[in-house]
Amino acid sequence: MFCYEKQLQYPVRVKNCNPRLASIIITQYGGPDGELGASLRYLSQRFSMPYDDAKGTLTDIGVEELGHLEMIGALVHQLTRNLTPEQVKAGGFDAYFVDHTTGIYPQSAGGTPFTAAALQSKGDPITDLHENMAAEMKARTTYDNILRLSDDPDVNDVIRFLRARDIVHYQRFGELLCRTQERLDEKNFFAVNSAFDRKAD
Amino acid sequence: MTENRQKSCMKTAADYAYPFALWDLRLYLDTHPDDREALETFSQMCAAYPQAGACRAGNMGMNDNCGCERWTWIDGPWPWEYDANRISDTVYGGSHRGNSSDTGNSYRTGNGSCHSGSHSSNSCCSGNGNGNSRNTSYMRGGR
């Protein structure tokens, strides 16, 4: 089940309005490498993991990504506070604004609504862990790109935190991959799916 | 909201730092459940900041009533598995035993105690060596 802690994992305090930046950052809310996709990917994969440490790690990291989703929402919300229509137009925010005003909607920076097509839950532990390591790197690159485009220190502080967390998650999944491979008979590495085939152990 | 109330509601750095540190440590403990030093650090942080959600007994795997020897949060069965959803006979008054419903995906921790999905305090310190994640039975189907 899911509980909710009424506090962000890391504080978001953005003083300046910036709808242009908001329309970029929204991509980590509903875009292909964003937090929603990451969370759904991990929370879905955990069902088919045969190992307790994988179930625990995927659950915990999946939950943490929901917390990050909330932080991205907070960023976009604070960047679009008290906008005038002129600011909307000047910030190139009009296309988003016409459909969502300053509401938060899960889409990519390019306007593609959130889709599970960008994630996979393959039901094979080795495959899934590789998928997750790639996902964390994609997210990290996206944060790198946001940092290239943003000069707001309040925003960048939060983005750097989220970027660092993605690197930590990458390391955690890498560790899980090692542990998973250790459990398998070397000859069977790619010959069996330990979540499905009977002779894996 | 009055100015005064706003100020007294304001958080300190510790309100973010401790929950975060505890969270990061739990990620480590998920893959290193027997690391005594990490468990000790977890205990110490809970002593310093007991209001963290992670520190409530039986809530997230840490029981402060016993000197926990391992991180039992990861122990099966997990809620989506059949075994986690069994309800004892006394509740229904009928016989609902059935190992035959074992689909091959049932997971036991090896010590026979009932993990009902919440991590009850008295099952925390299973610490008998065969309950750790490496030896958790999986794929032990009846087939």
Pairwise CB contact (< 8 Å): A53 & B78 = no
Q: Are A14 and A152 in contact (CB under 8 A)?
A: yes
The DSSP H or E segment spanning A55 is: helix A52-79
pLDDT, tens digit, 9 for 90 and up, residues B32-88: 999 999 999 998 998 899 888 888 765 555 544 445 678 988 998 999 999 999 998
Per-residue model confidence (pLDDT) at position A140 = 98
Nearest CA in chain B to A174: B31
CA dist B26 and B54 (Å) reads 9
Pairwise CB contact (< 8 Å): B133 & A194 = no
Answer yes or no: is pLDDT of B19 > 50.
yes
Interface of A with B in 6-65 (CB under 8 A): 7, 9-11, 46-47, 50-53, 55-57, 59-61, 64
Residue in B15, B80, B138 nearest the CB of A47: B80
Pairwise CB contact (< 8 Å): A52 & B133 = yes
Pairwise CB contact (< 8 Å): A201 & B138 = yes
Per-residue model confidence (pLDDT) at position A55 = 97
Pairwise CB contact (< 8 Å): B74 & A201 = no
User: How far is the alpha carbon of A10 from chain B, nearest alpha carbon, in Å?
Assistant: 7
Nearest CA in chain B to A6: B53
Measure Cα distances from B119 to A156, B56, B76, B128 in Å: 39, 11, 10, 17
The reply to whether A174 touches chain B by the CB within 8 Å rule is: no
Residue in B11, B27, B75 nearest the CB of A60: B27
Pairwise CB contact (< 8 Å): A53 & B31 = yes
Confidence of residue B3 (pLDDT cuts 50, 70, 90): low
Residue in B24, B31, B76 nearest the CB of A57: B31
Q: How many CA atoms lie within 13 A of A12 on its CB side?
A: 19
CA dist B4 and B27 (Å) reads 38
Pairwise CB contact (< 8 Å): A50 & B139 = yes
Per-residue model confidence (pLDDT) at position A183 = 87
The DSSP H or E segment spanning A66 is: helix A52-79
Pairwise CB contact (< 8 Å): B53 & A10 = no
Contacts of A181 (CB under 8 A, 6+ apart): A126, A189
**Which of A5, A55, A197, A201 best tests the B interface by mutation, with the highest count of B CBs <10 A?**
A55
Per-10-residue mean pLDDT, chain A, length 201: 93 97 98 98 97 96 98 98 95 97 97 98 97 98 98 98 98 95 77 74 47
Pairwise CB contact (< 8 Å): B31 & A176 = yes
* Predicted complex ipTM: 0.90
Residue in B27, B75, B141 nearest the CB of A172: B27
Residue in B27, B76, B141 nearest the CB of A52: B76
SS3 state at A113: strand
Confidence of residue B135 (pLDDT cuts 50, 70, 90): very low
